[in-house]
Structure 1
Amino acid sequence: MSENKTRPMGRPMKFYDLSYGVYPRRVSIYLLEKGLTGIERISVRADTTDINGWSNEWREVRARNPAGTVPILETEDGTLIRQSTAILEYLEDRFPEPSLLGKTAEERAFTRDLVSLINEANVHFGTYCHKGNPLFAGKEVQSAEAAEIAWQAYVAQLSLIDKLSRDAEFLTGDRPTIADCMLMSLLQFAEGLYGKTIPPHCERLSSWYRRFSLRPSAAAPEYPPAVVAIAQGKTVS
């Protein structure tokens, strides 16, 4: 993992983070892979399914993002970036070395290809959870049929990523990119919180996942036991 010698100057940027959230985790993994420090991390807490039990930091989140979601990156001049992919690309523009997009136009295009596919996989998995998981029962309309359709779309998307990724140490070749950060966050979230592992036929992804899981950036976050129990259909003690 290369060290980035460039650091934010002056008033620090602020990164609003939920340690185990699938989208904030993309940024957390990226910052470690990039070696980028000097960004103030503001951690919000969500160790309960009751929103009234969440920490006061959520007030700051809601004041900065009408959707009330994280991640949020607040730059030195107060500019707010509220989508994880936009945050990653912004940081790449600001701090281009070491590149986590690719050295050439062709490499960067391939990384962005995978990023698009991973974002679609995230949407499918999210729909599967929202429409069929006990965590969301009573909070929104659920549908077993919609959940199954979303699950099959998620598996199909992982299969496509498996076929298109390089037969190399990382998804795009011999160096990590934002695609690795994003996919690691998704697969780790699916397994750690919901107990959903990579489909057995995605052998290349499974091998990549085992390798990348050993990197310091991918150390698994702590998933709240009460939330995990509900998400995985277990009895909460």
Structure 2
Amino acid sequence: MAHLELFLFTWGLYPRRILIYLHEKGLFNSPHIKVTQVTISATAEMIAPGKPKGTVPILVLPDGTFIKQSVAILDYLEDICDKPEEAWQQDIASAAKTSMRGSNARGRATIREILALVDEATSMFGFACHKGSKLFLEIEPTNSAASSMAMGIVRRNMKLLEPYYEGRFEGDSSEAEKVTIADCVFFSFLQFSRELYGVDLVADSELRNLRRFYVTFKERESAKIPEDFYPLYIKELAPIWLE
């Protein structure tokens, strides 16, 4: 049976996007999608049987080729569900829920706009963590001023994202049809920054729509995580920010 193999860290930010998506899409238990967790070797390499070289997530296709970027992986899965061409793709599509990229051109453009803002915020947040979190103090040069500047861009993007969520997620949180790939990507970022680094990016009183989105989405089955989800040694250092 043809299948896709997905290599990832369960708790990593970018793989987390995909896991939330698979739950929301109804594909988490698909027999055609094998999820393989990687481990870190003594030489800091990501290893797992059959894993291609490189960082995760990596999606290996039945023909042996692979896709690495998380949003590209989500787009690929949406494509084969929207227009399945092979029997195994048709099996996946038959189990999948409706399109998560919008029902028309305007809706799809809006999702791309949200993804662009979230990806920029994610990159800047990562930079801020590397320069300002104690987690990286012994690994690379730190710079609290650079960290603060990057966080300023992150918070600016939160304000730019606020209007996109006006009127959304106001009803029953079980309405799966309203969830988009942008929602999965955005929520995983907000959850990661809050639960691992102790930064609540939607705490600003002006971000009422984003706060509602976060509070509502975190109650979904796809979003729930256990207390020990993040490795203890990382969780102890990550929320300590340098002066």
| Distance in 1 between residues matched to 2:65 and 2:160, nearest whole Å | 36
Segments of 5+ residues of structure 2 without an aligned counterpart are 83-96, 171-175
The residue identity in structure 2 corresponding to 1:34 is K
Map of 1:206-217 to 2, 5 A cutoff?
A: 206-217=211-222
The residue identity in structure 1 corresponding to 2:216 is R
What's the CA shift string for 1:187-234, capped at 9, x where partnerless?
Answer: 110011111112323111111111111111111251112210011239
| Distance in 2 between residues matched to 1:174 and 1:196, nearest whole Å | 29
The residue identity in structure 2 corresponding to 1:200 is D
Q: Which of 56, 78, 91 is equivalent to 2:77?
A: 91
The residue identity in structure 2 corresponding to 1:43 is Q
Counterpart position of 1:23: 14
Counterpart position of 1:190: 193
| Distance in 1 between residues matched to 2:144 and 2:49, nearest whole Å | 32
Structure 1 residue 60, shift from structure 2 partner: 4.2
Q: Which of 75, 79, 89 is equivalent to 2:65?
A: 79
What's the CA shift string for 1:153-207, capped at 9, x where partnerless?
Answer: 111111111123332118xx96100011001110110011111112323111111
Counterpart position of 2:235: 228
Is 1:200 the counterpart of 2:204? The answer is yes
Change (3 A) 1:231 1:62: farther
1:17–1:44: 8 Å Cα contact kept in structure 2?
A: yes
Counterpart position of 1:64: 52
The residue identity in structure 2 corresponding to 1:112 is R
Change (3 A) 1:174 1:78: closer
Structure 1 residue 52, shift from structure 2 partner: 2.1
Structure 1 residue 62, shift from structure 2 partner: 10
2:38–2:48: 8 Å Cα contact kept in structure 1?
A: no
Q: Which of 41, 61, 64 is equivalent to 2:35?
A: 41
Segments of 5+ residues of structure 1 without an aligned counterpart are 1-9
Kindly report structure 1 stretches of 4+ aligned residues shifted beyond 6 Å.
none
Counterpart position of 2:93: none
1:61–1:70: 8 Å Cα contact kept in structure 2?
A: no
1:61–1:69: 8 Å Cα contact kept in structure 2?
A: no
Q: TM-score, normalised by structure 2?
A: 0.82
| Distance in 2 between residues matched to 1:131 and 1:90, nearest whole Å | 34
| Distance in 1 between residues matched to 2:213 and 2:235, nearest whole Å | 25
| Distance in 1 between residues matched to 2:151 and 2:22, nearest whole Å | 30
2:217–2:223: 8 Å Cα contact kept in structure 1?
A: yes
Counterpart position of 1:177: 180
The residue identity in structure 1 corresponding to 2:7 is Y
The residue identity in structure 2 corresponding to 1:228 is K
| Distance in 2 between residues matched to 1:70 and 1:196, nearest whole Å | 24
The residue identity in structure 2 corresponding to 1:186 is F
Counterpart position of 2:89: none
Deviates more, 1:158-167 or 1:119-128: 158-167
